[in-house]
Amino acid sequence: MTKKILFVCHGNICRSPMAEFITKKIVKDLGKEDEYEIASAATTEDAIIGGVGHDIDVRSQRVMNEHGIPFNHRQARKMVKSDYAKYDYIVGMDEENFFDMNHISAGDPERKEYKLLSFTGSMMDVDDPWYTGDFEAAYQDIYRGCEALINKIEKSGKPKSNYAVTGLYFYPAGVSEKAAQVKPSARGEVEITSLNDMYLQDDNLGVQLLGRGYAWLDTGTMQSLVDASNYVKMIEERQGVSVSAPEEIAYVHGWIDKDQLLEAAKHYGKSPYGKHLKSVAEGKVRY
């Protein structure tokens, strides 16, 4: 089954064409170019004059040439509502793109829309090089995001287990020395996975399974952030508890005393959070 990806940016002349051709190169190198349909589009008509779209910005062309990314000359086009039905992944570069995509698709009813760097676990935007002038930085961010996207797609159909690594790590003393030994990856990034692999090779890597009662919430998109907020709100209202109150945690573990907790509660005034901390200090919350 062909996997269809549409990359989107403001004008479809800088970032989204780079994402399109970088991803085409990645899947070709994997020997899977026949399994993908990859294209790009704009959220506006700023680069479309008289119905004719501009070609890829020459600075984007230059940086792709420098990195050996083949590309075709093409005309910018605007994303339309029918694209939503056609593509499996619709991937924007920044928050503004995401908002505009959402408007075109009438609210992303099938949850197909993403920000590119969300696939790397980041909420950051790919800055528009049209304004920053830094096309190399844009290329590096886009490559990182596209590589993570293809890794996600390729792994989704054949996971090695039912478990996922949440990205929460605790390191022992000496980690700074090990981190200093990490060499940049092929794409020039210093990867935390390389650091973890050092501990694995030393037979000093442990994994803590999060069992029943735990929930892992990925908040890489605006919609998933709303979902996480609603989930936490439901737990707090149904169970009458506060999820992750730092002052409460510190008090329970003996890191602050009752007077300090009451002082913190006073700081928050009559807010629900302040009232919760006061209840903890008064022993009204049972564990």
Active-site choice (14, 15, 125, 144): 15
Q: Which of 121, 122, 144 is nearest to 15 (CA)?
A: 144
Active-site choice (9, 14, 100, 144): 9
**From the CB of residue 129, how many other CB atoms can be counted at a distance below 10 Å?**
22
* 115 vs 123: CA distance, rounded Å: 8
Is 62 annotated in the active site? no
Helix, strand, coil percent values for the chain (each to nearest 5)? 45, 10, 45
Fill in the amino acid letter for 214: Y
Reported as type and span, the H/E element at residue 9 is strand 3-9
Active-site choice (57, 108, 125, 128): 128
Task: Confirm if 170 and 50 have CB atoms less than 8 A apart.
Answer: no
Is 59 annotated in the active site? no
Is 141 annotated in the active site? no
Q: Which of 108, 100, 113 is nearest to 7 (CA)?
A: 113
Give catalytic residue positions.
9, 15, 128
